[in-house]
Amino acid sequence: MIKPEKFLAKLSDRYYVNDSRRFLLTKFELVSPRVIEFLAGQYLSLKVSEEGVRRSYSFATTPDVKHGFTLLSEIIPDGLGSKYLLDLPMGGEIEALAPLGKFVIGDEAKLLFVATGSGIVPIYSMITDLLLNKHEKRPIRLHWGMRRESDVFWFDNLERLAENNENFVFDLVLSQANEEWSLCSGHVQDCLSRDFEHEDMSFWGAYVCGNSKMVGEVKTLLREMGVSEENFHYEKFTEEEG
């Protein structure tokens, strides 16, 4: 693993990525040091107050981007981190520690990714890095759960990756789908049970990111379906903190 270090970066862009304005994308340019090294799936620890309170955010960019990075976060009302990122002036500097985390790709024969909400961020970095930079040929499957269609972002990017890489398939699952929604609805666990009912899961590595309840339920399900303990990898986040 790469040794974490403190660095400074300045805000270069900021915008909401969907109609619901629940998810905010922020882009930063490095100030010092000028180059950052990390692995897809890792995160940074951002100082969000003068008292030293910190929040963790996964890198949305891939490791080949050396002189800056992108974060994507869910905006939590009254959340300290959310307020910090919204109030930061353009060109304003941040202080962070990175890279952190062990949620990185292993050597399993097949790769299953499961995410809810902004848990897609490290997984998006992983999948993009695998397909665009490493030209990965292993089977890759993604199940991503969101509440409503208006919450969805990066759909076109993921669809393009699927069109250009026959080994990648992704399913978008809506828990509050309208009547016109023709794809899987409910929880990601429901679609996993359906899609992998007859699959030998002992060859799969599972990478799961989202709230604690989902991670726990998916782990129980996948263990019952044959995914080994050592092939189950996860990252939890706490929505309440913001």
pLDDT given at position 193: 87
- Look at residue 182 in the predicted model and tell me its pLDDT: 64
Percent pLDDT > 90 in the chain is 82
Q: Give the residue among 71, 135, 88, 115 at the shortest CA–CA distance from 234.
A: 115
- pLDDT at 239 (0 to 100): 59
Rounded CA separation 242/240 (Å):
6
85 has pLDDT over 60 = yes
pLDDT of residue 242: 67
Q: How confident is the model at residue 197 (pLDDT cuts 50, 70, 90)?
A: confident
Domains of the chain: 5-100 (2.40.30.10), 110-236 (3.40.50.80)
Longest distance between any two alpha carbons in the chain, whole Å: 53
Band (68; pLDDT cuts 50, 70, 90): very high
pTM beyond 0.85: yes
d(CA 123, CA 112): 10
Predicted pLDDT at 108: 98
Q: Are 194 and 184 in contact (CB under 8 A)?
A: yes
The pLDDT, as a whole number, for residue 198 is 87
DSSP for the chain reads -PPPEEEEEEEEEEEE-STT--EEEEEEEEEESS-----TT-EEEEE-STT--EEEEEB-S-TT--SEEEEEEEPPTT-HHHHHHHHPPTT-EEEEEEEE--------SEEEEEEEGGGHHHHHHHHHIIIIIS---S-EEEEEEES-GGG--SHHHHHHHHHH-TTEEEEEEETT--TT--S-BS-HHHHHHHHTTT--GGGEEEEEEE-HHHHHHHHHHHHHHT--GGGEEEEE--TTT-
Q: For residue 98, is pLDDT > 70?
A: yes
pLDDT over threshold 60, residue 53? yes
**How do 204-210 and 110-116 pair as beta strands?**
parallel
Backbone angles phi, psi at 199, to 5 degrees: -95, 140
pLDDT at res. 179: 72
Name the more confident of 135 and 190: 135
Residue 240 has pLDDT above 70, yes or no: no
Euclidean distance between CA atoms 56 and 74, whole angstroms: 12
Mean pLDDT of 71-78: 94
CB 227, CB 201: distance < 8 Å = yes
pLDDT one-digit tens code per residue, 144-183? 999 888 899 999 999 999 999 999 999 999 887 777 766 7
Please, are residues 46 and 81 in contact by the beta-carbon 8 Å criterion? yes
